[in-house]
Structure 1
Amino acid sequence: MKPMRLQKFLSAAGVCSRRKGETLIQVGRVTVNGERVTTLGTQVDPDTDQVSVDGKPAILKSDRVYLALHKPEGYVTSCDHPGEKIVLDLVKSDRRLFPVGRLDKESTGLLLLTDDGRIHHRLSHPSFDHEKEYDVTVAKPLTPGVLKKLARGVAIQGKQTRPAQVKKLSANRFLIILQEGRNRQIRRMVGKVGHTVQHLKRIRVAHIQLGKLKKGSWRHLTPQERRQLLELVT
């Protein structure tokens, strides 16, 4: 989408009329990418800039696509592996969709797909600390000490993982909530404490739940889920 004047953006987003938008800008109630803007005629790019009024995101009505997919085993999220089955093959769309973050070939569960570059770039970046929740089954029984080590964090390639929330579900199954997304992180963490992952399923990304979505199936995010997702990156 082409850049447009800030007051036109506010009007197109349904916040107010253009004239009222000019007033909001002049009195300092509008921010762009976290910076207060008071100059009329400031240009914004609807695809990349984050506009807020009184701290609340102003979202331009668009036909962007936001999907939740239950990724099965055996599919990769990258298109850079010729001969592999890719997750985009599971979704019938004429849009150029991008996976948000990673989920390795052997793992299953929730994967977000979108054609919104803001969401893809920001939520895929390792430094973006939204929560991700996983259901993990290992090969042998877990001890309290092992679970405490996972919760405290372990060293992977010389760098300590962040503290995590861990909850035991059964003798060899637990939930873990991470706020980082290093490559194959859970499998490597589990390996560090002397265990092997048998099954790994992501059940939540931020506020979006996998729920009862079947493997290989997908759905559009609800309006509330879309709104909350966009608020994460503003």
Structure 2
Amino acid sequence: MERLQKVIAKSGITSRRKAEKMIVDGLIEVNGKVVTELGSKVTDQDEVKVEGVPIEKEKLLYFLFYKPRGVITSVSDDKHRKTVTDYFEEYEERLYPVGRLDYDTSGILIMTNDGDFTNLLLHPSHQINKEYIVKTDGIPSKEKLQLFKKGIRSEGDILKAKQVKVMSTEHKKNTAIIKIVLHQGKNRQIRRMFEAIGTPVRKLKREQFGFLTLDSLNAGEHRELTPQEVAELKKLAK
């Protein structure tokens, strides 16, 4: 169930604040009855009318998207760069990303029009594993990498990793491939962490979000999440 004013706002008719005033003013009907209480909630099966006109409820959509490098995680960009929503132009629904990946970072990104679902997944108390593969300029020592678990101070934040593991090293090219698992989602977190120990990130990819992987998707492709996957993500977050 959702609050009535939120359902009205999601339909695109008006803002949530104006919807609240319309409820108080007696302009909203639910199943043929005028509702004036702001705390009222409705389900998908309830018929909601605004000034006698039924609202059209937007279908909730959930997608797993393989974000390419060089794409902005935003619904628009004032510099006219390509954004993640450019890959979903065939949908009428207003889709937006759950969280963000940096411009130069590729990998898993969830796209949806479900605000409650987004807030649930992004809430700091809901510790969902996010797994990344990092290619570094330089080979960091195990001692320095262990600092990630204790926490790295950067720009007023304490940045921490749940897991960190060196997958391979190439001494001739002085590079390393490292797997890192986060619960946090601070801006440019992994790049800031590696910069703090003197080993810049050359390439970064998010390979897993909770139990979701990229499967057989190529960069720029997406697939719709199954109802079971959506339910499992909600359960994981809670």
TM, length-normalised to structure 1: 0.71
Alignment of 1:2-151 (within 5 A): 43-46=40-43, 63-82=59-78, 83-91=80-88, 92-151=90-149
**CA offsets 1:169-225 (integer angstroms, 9 cap, x no match):** 111011111111110000000000101101110011122122331100000112321
Distance 1:80 1:217, change over 3 A: closer
CA distance in 2, matches of 1:100, 1:183: 14
Q: Secondary structure at the match of 2:93?
A: coil
**Unaligned ranges ≥5, structure 1:** 5-41, 48-61
**CA offsets 1:144-191 (integer angstroms, 9 cap, x no match):** 122212232211123322342011111101111111111000000000
Of the candidates 137, 159, 162, which is equivalent to residue 164 of structure 1?
162
Distance 1:132 1:97, change over 3 A: same
Q: Secondary structure at the match of 1:85?
A: coil
Q: Which moved more, 1:209-218 or 1:154-163?
A: 154-163
CA distance in 2, matches of 1:147, 1:187: 13
Q: Which moved more, 1:204-213 or 1:172-181?
A: 204-213
Q: How much has 1:112 moved relative to structure 2? A: 0.1
2:228 alignment counterpart: 224
CA distance in 2, matches of 1:166, 1:116: 32
Q: Secondary structure at the match of 2:138?
A: coil
Moved over 3 A (4+): 1-4, 42-47, 124-128
1:38 alignment counterpart: none
TM, length-normalised to structure 2: 0.70
* Higher Cα Rg, which structure: 2
Q: Which moved more, 1:171-180 or 1:119-128?
A: 119-128
**CA offsets 1:6-34 (integer angstroms, 9 cap, x no match):** xxxxxxxxxxxxxxxxxxxxxxxxxxxxx
State the one-letter code of the partner of 2:116.
Answer: R
Verify the 8 A CA contact 2:161 2:181 in the aligned structure 1. no
**Unaligned ranges ≥5, structure 2:** 5-38, 45-57, 170-175
CA distance in 1, matches of 2:43, 2:97: 21
Of the candidates 198, 219, 222, which is equivalent to residue 215 of structure 1?
219
